[in-house]
Chains A and B, each alone.
Chain A
Amino acid sequence: MQSIHVRTKINGQAAEFLCEPRQSLLEVLRDVLRLTGTKEGCNDGNCGACTVEMDGRIVPACLVLGAEAEGADILTIEGIAEGSALHELQNAFLEGAALQCGVCTPGFIVASKALLERNPDPSEEEIRFWLANNLCRCTGYDKIVRSVQAAAEKMQQETTS
């Protein structure tokens, strides 16, 4: 099978890769580019573990073909922290004990970041609606929702101060 040459931008850096036509973006990220922070839980778009941001929209990377990333701007969990400083969401997840096994955590953080960029002060209901495609089997979601609330509060304080 002939490989396709794809030019894209990942976490702010230009990235090029070769992929087979049948390879998903998730496979490319994990197996070709070794960005293994994006996780595979179901490979059919139902668990949210592989959530990445692509041109400003959150998508399950397993439902995007690698070839479709041509010209796209992609953000993965590896691009959330700025340098050595964790993002407020990452801090909030740690302080709020919002992870147990941690395998769903990258997807939740990528999805939550996109939420807070659109809606800096979401209600509990809005957080629950936005995160409904991200499955977590360990926490029962309570501490995840509270941590997103805590991060939102902190980020708002930072913007107003």
Chain B
Amino acid sequence: MSTSTLGPKSTSAAPAGKSGNGAPRRDSYEPNMVLATQTFDVVGTRPVRHDGADKVTGRALYGADLTLAGTLHGAILRSPHAHARIRSIDTSKAEQMDGVHAVVTADDLPEAEDKLVDVGEGDTRLSYVHGNVLAKGKVLYQGHAVAAVAARNQHVALEAANAIVVDYEPLPSYMTAPEAMAADAELLHSDLRMKEFGEQTDKPSNVAEHFHWTAGAVDEGFAGSDVVVERTFDTSTVHQGYIEPHNVTALWNHDGRLHIWCSTQGAFVVRDVTSKILEIPVSNIKVTPMEIGGGFGGKIPVYMEPVAALMSRKTGRPVKIVMSREDVFTGTGPTPGSHVRVKVGASADGKIQALEATLAYEAGAYPGSFVAPGGMCVFAAYDCANLSVDCYDVVVNKPSSAAYRAPGATQAAFAAEQVIDEVASKLGLDPVGFRMRNAAKEGTRRADGPKFRRIGCEQVLQAVRDHPHYSAPLTGSNRGRGVAVGFWFNVGLESSCTLNVNTDGTVHLVEGSTDIGGTRTSIAMQAAEVLGIAAEEILPEVVDTDSVGFTSVTGGSRTTFATGWAAHDAAQKIVAEMRVRAAKLWSVEVEQVEHAKGVYSSNGNSIAFRDLAAMSSKTGGPVSATATVKPRGVGGSFSANIVDVEVDPETGKVEILRFTAVQDVGKAVHPSYVEGQMQGGSVQGIGWALNEEYFMGADGTMKNSSLLDYRMPTTLDLPMIDTCIVEVANPGHPFGVRGVGEANIVPPPAAIANAIHRAVGARMQRLPMSPPAVWAEVAGS
């Protein structure tokens, strides 16, 4: 890569770490580049992850791998109807079956108090969480949990669950936001009253909340524009698609303490939500997070934990429940389908004059669709004084939606980035140049009010413009190149970390962030950097909720950022203590002891961390430190794509010929795993763009609830995913880190849509852009 105009760089072909990415380079260009702005000794290198050997040998224990002695196996009976009143539930036949030990329904849960509960990434009403765990009175979607059985084995449990007789009275069902918003639509929740502009109204509605943000003079902005484009877009419901189904084992011990082992992004969320649902103190619950087989936001909600706990209390034995894939599709996730209108006006000189959007997202059965973040992100990449954004959170008869990687932003970008592209095209401007001319920068006001601190939007666009992919020739018919940019926040929330120094110079690191993609290592590396020792000399463990301070979810791109910060702070405390120990050793004042790169020195004396650690017993005893953080200096992350596609006009199939992901990550702590986040997010975006959808029948039931029919990308559908890491240091983090987990999923559907438009002239206003949909557009254009 010789054309970059951005600062110094290192590449994955010449890693600075002990063990690099050993993949051979068979390409004539550098597929993964790092545009680095600052260098450290450990941060920025590529060590082998600490949990790696366990995970390549099958030794790592995921939730479903745990079977305690005496375990009973559970199964959940789910609603076959999209919307129905439950007239009665008869469990008598199931209860009498041989091998059945317990049956529970919503009647076994305590009554839900009317209060708010923190469910990991915000508050919701306890009654909604409650109602989703086991339906009471009504089922609101196909797959809604109605009853559960614990039995000798999973086969007996399933048979017994199917022997439960539920008398349903089917009700009209609504699958999309516009249908549920219609004036004559039946209410999903008789007690739901719309919240509007932050105020609770008394309007009964399927619209749970209406947000509105405005700034400047929007009408004048459009009046002063030479080009105005307005379009409406729809996207289908998609699932997070983690390979490991949800699972739980619960043991309600005879001492009254409840122990839960499960696959979750937030062990403390499971503890706290389960405590509220079952009305027992948090101190009576211990949650052990097992290894997690993917989450992407979908493993934040609590589904089966309280149910397994109830059945364990009834039987005095551990109860284990593992979802089937169909349960995962119909009973968990998904991310909302959306209906989005975007209007953009710009003057002939290429300046955006006004922006307007209306977003309506399907929350699913209970309020909370992440439409508000969608509205905050829809125009986040642009600096325009005149804008107006309306968001509607709409309940429909689909599973209660869950976070999915930059929740809400991808749907918004699919709409906004196509309209932006069209405006650029009508003005005769280069799509990247037009975006750069209007790019958000430090001080730009976001739609919802806050002004950006230092961000990397311009730098990401500059990297796109300068990337060899952007200027590479693309020839051949029905081929086109598209670009798009996307934004996602980071959250700080709360994290804890403890470091225990061993006498051999290694350090045990204790943390509570579920490791979904290498964060044990990215957190350990930050401690190693401060201590001046190797990443391999830190031994990280993710522990249960009894054994570490409160730690919020692995989500919101926060884990490397915030738990890494806690590790940084704990390591600084260790350094301070080691200076005290060295001072004692040499009988000098602690102020006279200096520390640099793991060596403590004073007046000609010096000692390495390892040797000082070995003397801890003689210098005052064990060395240990804990730090907790609630960081405020969160940065946001911008991400952009360059994608080349070829459209087969005969079939409508879109082939990805080449794909480049560019992202501002602040500082890549472990560049290989940062690239991995960018590549993984990109491919989830590609799946969302081209194939994935909940195919709903007229009766409101899902017709493709298997991994054969819900078509996620395979190896064969994809090229290599090239990455370009841009580092615009986040001033709010000790190493400049920004969260990297999410922004990468935002631009792909829009970039691919823009590429399809350039390839065949069709403007795709619906996701997925599957072969029949593209074929229809090509045939019609």
Contacts and interface: CB of A to CB of B under 8 A. Distances in A.
Interface in A119-140: 124, 127-129, 131-140
B708 interface: yes
Contacts of A134: 715
A86 B53 CA distance: 8
B60 interface: yes
A53 interface: no
Contact of A142 (B19, B26, B55, B679): B679
A47 B707 contact: yes
Contact of A141 (B26, B59, B706, B718): B718
B714 A135 contact: yes
A91 B482 CA distance: 37
A139 B680 contact: yes
A139 B294 contact: no
Given A100-B680, A103-B293, A138-B680, A150 B24 contact: yes
Given A42-B707, A47-B243, A143 B716 contact: no
B295 to A, nearest CB: 8
Interface string A9-31: 00000000000101000000011
Contacts of B28: none
A150 B673 contact: no
A70 to B, nearest CB: 21
B143 interface: no
B676 A143 contact: yes
A97 B15 CA distance: 13
Nearest to A109: B56
Interface stretch (B61-69, B122-130, B561-569): B61-69
A134 B58 CA distance: 16
Interface string A134-161: 1111111111111101100100000000
B244 A41 contact: yes
A103 B58 contact: no
A106 interface: yes
Interface string B286-309: 000001111110000000000000
A46 to B, nearest CB: 4
A78 to B, nearest CB: 5
A103 B290 CA distance: 12
B45 to A, nearest CB: 12
A94 B53 contact: yes
B605 interface: no
A56 interface: no
A103 to B, nearest CB: 3
A15 B55 CA distance: 24
B472 interface: no
A109 B296 CA distance: 23
B517 interface: yes
A42 B325 contact: yes
Contact of A101 (B67, B293, B716): B293
B241 A137 contact: yes
B684 interface: yes
A147 B20 CA distance: 12
A30 to B, nearest CB: 7
Contacts of B61: 36
A134 B243 CA distance: 10
A131 B715 contact: yes
A150 B23 contact: yes
B636 to A, nearest CB: 23
A154 B537 CA distance: 28
B23 A143 contact: yes
Interface in B32-73: 46, 48-49, 51-53, 55-62, 64-65, 67
Contacts of A30: 64-65
Nearest to B673: A97
Contacts of A153: 24
A137 B242 contact: yes
Contacts of B22: 92, 95-96, 150
Interface in B219-248: 240-245
B53 A138 contact: no
Contacts of A141: 679, 683, 713-715, 718
A77 B59 CA distance: 9
Given A42-B707, A47-B707, A102 B60 contact: yes
Contact of B294 (A37, A127, A138): A138
Nearest to A130: B715
B49 A145 contact: no
Contacts of B516: 100-101, 138
B315 interface: no
Contacts of A22: 155
A80 interface: yes
A95 B325 CA distance: 31
| Chain B, interface residues (CB within 8 Å), range | 35 or more
B59 A145 contact: no
Nearest to A152: B24
B386 to A, nearest CB: 38
Contacts of A138: 294, 516-517, 676, 680
A137 B679 contact: no
Contact of B243 (A96, A101, A128): A101
Contacts of A39: 62, 64, 243-244, 293
Given A128-B715, A140-B679, A149-B24, A95 B48 contact: yes
Interface string B727-752: 00000000000000000000000000
B56 A93 contact: yes
Contacts of B51: 102
A135 B243 contact: yes
A87 to B, nearest CB: 8
Given A95-B19, A95-B22, A137-B242, A78 B65 contact: no
A44 interface: yes
Contacts of A80: 57
B243 A44 contact: no
B518 A41 contact: no
Contacts of B296: 137
A78 B104 CA distance: 38
B550 to A, nearest CB: 24
A81 interface: yes
A76 B676 contact: no
B245 A41 contact: yes
Interface string B698-719: 0000000011100011111010
Given A95-B48, A124-B26, A135-B243, A44 B325 contact: yes
Contact of A100 (B57, B62, B65, B517): B517
A103 B244 contact: yes
Contacts of B716: 128-129, 132
B86 interface: no
Given A22-B155, A78-B57, A40 B245 contact: yes
Contacts of A81: 57
Which residue of B22, B679, B715 has the most chain A CB atoms within 10 A of its CB atom? Answer: B715
A37 B59 contact: yes
Interface in A40-94: 40-44, 46-47, 49, 76-78, 80-81, 86, 90, 92-94
B557 interface: no
20 contacts: A36-B62, A42-B707, A90-B53, A90-B56, A95-B20, A97-B673, A100-B680, A101-B242, A102-B56, A103-B242, A105-B56, A109-B56, A137-B240, A137-B242, A138-B294, A140-B679, A142-B718, A143-B21, A143-B675, A146-B24
Q: Which 4 A-B pairs have the closest CB atoms?
A: A37-B58, A103-B293, A140-B683, A146-B23
Interface of B: 19-24, 26, 46, 48-49, 51-53, 55-62, 64-65, 67, 155, 240-245, 291-296, 322, 324-325, 516-518, 670, 672-673, 675-677, 679-684, 706-708, 712-716, 718, 720-721
Interface of A: 20, 22, 30-31, 34-44, 46-47, 49, 76-78, 80-81, 86, 90, 92-97, 99-106, 109, 124, 127-129, 131-147, 149-150, 153
Given A20-B155, A36-B62, A100-B676, 13 more contacts: A40-B322, A41-B243, A41-B707, A44-B706, A47-B243, A77-B58, A96-B21, A100-B294, A103-B291, A106-B58, A135-B707, A140-B679, A142-B718
